[in-house]
Amino acid sequence: MTERRRLAVVIGGGNGIGAATVRVMAARGWRVVAADLDDAAATRIAAEVEDGVGVGLDVTDPAGMEVTAARIEADLGPVAALVVSSGAFHDSLPPHRLSDDDWSRVLRVNLDGTWHADRIFGGRMAARGAGSIVNIASVTGLFSSPLLAYGTSKTAIIGLTRNLAGEWGHSGVRVNSVSPGVTLVERILKHRAAGTRYYGSDFGTHAAMGRSVEPSEVAETVEFLASDRASAITGIDVPVDCGWSTAAGWEMFGGARPPVTPEATR
Ligand SMILES: NC(=O)c1ccc[n+]([C@@H]2O[C@H](COP(=O)([O-])OP(=O)(O)OC[C@H]3O[C@@H](n4cnc5c(N)ncnc54)[C@H](O)[C@@H]3O)[C@@H](O)[C@H]2O)c1
């Protein structure tokens, strides 16, 4: 009898970082369910990988998510890992221009949605005594940025992650988050092509490594944290940002030092 592969659910798996995570996890031997509000995209990404399954799922609909979680486990077995990569975004606006609707929409998807997904899938894991959750936060959750509601939601996701890790540590469930820096998904590339304010600039120049992040680089860290290779790690946030979060101190001194040349070291 062949051993059953461990099952992972990637919410937001239809696009961007979530889609890259579906691909990386499948390549590392997981059986992956791509779950997304955009069920056509979830189905498309799932079809790319061995035994992938695509499902429609809305993180703002906890009752529907309960039904989907029960159906996934009845059909495919216990979920060993959950990745929450769904996200809502807003234009960069000062407080007096940001609408209450934008504030509520972004908090509802990013914070409430992550909470509902974690408690529904994580609650089942805790009852079984095993599982791992990786929430996708953002470097905008680590420091001030011109993305008021979004950044606030991401700081809260890092706090939620830490608190759930404490809640479920004795129940065998690890909970961590990953904070990507600017990651070159299609959504960001479109902003850049359109010259959208802030997004139009080359963020990479502000990172210690002088470049932006590839989606697969975030996915590799997510897969590591989800796997038993990270068996002693819980309650932490890992920035995957080419050193963007650490480079702020250099901005105060006028930016990064130019690359070292062979001549300079002679
Ligand atoms: N790309 C970046 O530069 C970057 C940087 C930091 C953090 N992040 C975070 O990474 C995550 C993925 O973002 P991305 O850049 O890949 O964006 P993306 O738009 O490519 O993917 C987001 C996915 O979430 C899905 N989604 C939206 N609302 C949903 C809902 N209610 N229920 C279920 N799915 C829903 C969308 O359909 C989409 O497939 C988000 O949490 C985002 O905040 C991205």
What is the rounded distance in angstroms from the CA atom of residue 133 to the CA atom of residue 178? Answer: 11
> 3-state secondary structure string, 199-231?
CCCCHHHHCCCCCCECHHHHHHHHHHHHCHHHC
Rounded to the nearest 10 degrees, the angle between the axes of helix 16-27 and helix 39-48 is 30
Structure tokens at 248: 């702020």
**Cα 266 to averaged position of ligand 1 atoms, centre (Å):** 47
**What proportion of the chain, given as a percentage, has pLDDT over 90?**
83
Q: Where are the domains of the chain?
A: 7-181+213-244
The model's pLDDT over 151-183, given as tens digits with 9 standing for 90+, comes to 999 999 999 999 999 999 999 999 999 999 999
> Is the Cβ atom of 118 under 6 angstroms away from ligand 1?
no
Locus of tokens 């975004």: 89
Give the residue, by CA position, lying nearest to ligand 1 atom 24: 86
Q: In terms of Cα–Cα distance, which of 6, 36, 25, 28 is closest to 128?
A: 6
Is 109 within 8 Å of 88 (Cβ atoms)?
A: yes
Q: In terms of Cα–Cα distance, which of 242, 241, 214, 237 is closest to 16?
A: 214
> What is residue 198's predicted lDDT score, i.e. its pLDDT?
66
The model's pLDDT over 175-214, given as tens digits with 9 standing for 90+, comes to 999 999 999 999 999 888 887 766 656 778 889 999 999 9
> What is residue 2's predicted lDDT score, i.e. its pLDDT?
44
137 Cα nearest atom in ligand 1 = 7
> Is the Cβ atom of 136 under 6 angstroms away from ligand 1?
yes
CATH level 2 (architecture), domain 7-181+213-244: 3-Layer(aba) Sandwich (3.40)
> Is the Cβ atom of 37 under 6 angstroms away from ligand 1?
yes
**Cα 114 to averaged position of ligand 1 atoms, centre (Å):** 12
Locus of tokens 């904070």: 179
The model's pLDDT over 106-154, given as tens digits with 9 standing for 90+, comes to 999 999 999 999 999 999 999 999 999 999 999 999 999 999 999 999 9
> Is the Cβ atom of 8 under 6 angstroms away from ligand 1?
no
The model's pLDDT over 33-74, given as tens digits with 9 standing for 90+, comes to 999 999 999 999 999 999 999 999 999 999 999 999 999 999
